[in-house]
Chain A
Amino acid sequence: DGGITQSPKYLFRKEGQNVTLSCEQNLNHDAMYWYRQDPGQGLRLIYYSQIVNDFQKGDIAEGYSVSREKKESFPLTVTSAQKNPTAFYLCASSPSPISYNEQFFGPGTRLTVL
């Protein structure tokens, strides 16, 4: 069953803690993306990776970090430096890093800071 998965679905974090959101795909896609979505807002790009062992900052990278050590995995760490981390986080992948490809999205992780 091919697809892109994210875990956990819901995540609660205390202020000052780092948390890591998981994103895995078995579609053999080269490109992967992390977006943040706030209520009533569109998607804002946090980080993206065009190929394994490479990644670039998006529009709102401050307070976040990523790694791409394996093609199928692109975890996102929300650090304590992120001042307002409560949001819905979406991971996506596409076959190659050109925008003509559709992006396949995971089900999302809702992060709440207590």
Chain B
Amino acid sequence: SQQGEEDPQALSIQEGENATMNCSYKTSINNLQWYRQNSGRGLVHLILIRSNEREKHSGRLRVTLDTSKKSSSLLITASRAADTASYFCATGSDRGSTLGRLYFGRGTQLTVWP
């Protein structure tokens, strides 16, 4: 399956702490993206990292990608209650029939307590 798998399924932390979520996948990819979903809403794109990149930053977000281990991590620093949401990784490869498709994992539910 090309679907990514996030770990842990649920994460509960206090405000100010860092939150780390991991994503593993099984096939070769050309990019990996992270999305956020607030309860009952659509997904919002956070960050994209290409297969030739190892690390990327955006504000309080830091994403790493290790293609040899087929894994990625999303770090949210100094978390806030407003960061409470589900976070999904999505992989793309654009090979043949997968052109334009993203494969989403099941997500990590992050709860940040005030």
| Interface residue ranges, A against B (CB under 8 Å) | 4, 31, 35, 40-43, 45, 48, 50, 58, 88, 90, 92, 94, 96-100, 102-108, 110
A61 to chain B, nearest CB (A): 13
Identify which of B58-66, B69-77, B93-101 touches chain A. B93-101
Separation of A100 and B99 alpha carbons in the complex (Å): 10
Residues of B within 8 A of A58 (CB): 101
In the complex, the chain B residue whose C-beta lies closest to that of A43 is B104
Residues of A within 8 A of B92 (CB): 98-100
Within 8 A of A (CB), among B62-114: 88, 91-94, 98-102, 104-107
B31 proximal to A (CB < 8 A): yes
B100 engages A48 (CB within 8 Å):
yes
B42 engages A106 (CB within 8 Å):
yes
9 contacts between A and B (CB under 8 A): A35-B104, A40-B106, A42-B104, A43-B43, A48-B101, A103-B43, A105-B42, A108-B41, A110-B40
Within the complex, which residue of A99, A105, A106 is in contact with B101, where a contact is CB–CB below 8 Å? A99
Q: Which 10 A-B pairs have the closest CB atoms?
A: A99-B92, A97-B100, A105-B42, A102-B45, A43-B104, A42-B106, A42-B104, A105-B43, A107-B42, A99-B94
Residues of B within 8 A of A96 (CB): 100
B3 proximal to A (CB < 8 A): yes
A44 to chain B, nearest CB (A): 8
Residues of A within 8 A of B33 (CB): 102
B99 engages A97 (CB within 8 Å):
yes
Residues of B within 8 A of A90 (CB): 42-43
A100 engages B101 (CB within 8 Å):
no
Separation of A41 and B50 alpha carbons in the complex (Å): 25
Given A98-B99, A99-B100, are A42 and B48 neighbors across the interface (CB < 8 Å)?
Answer: no
Given A42-B88, A99-B102, are A107 and B41 neighbors across the interface (CB < 8 Å)?
Answer: yes
Residues of B within 8 A of A107 (CB): 41-42
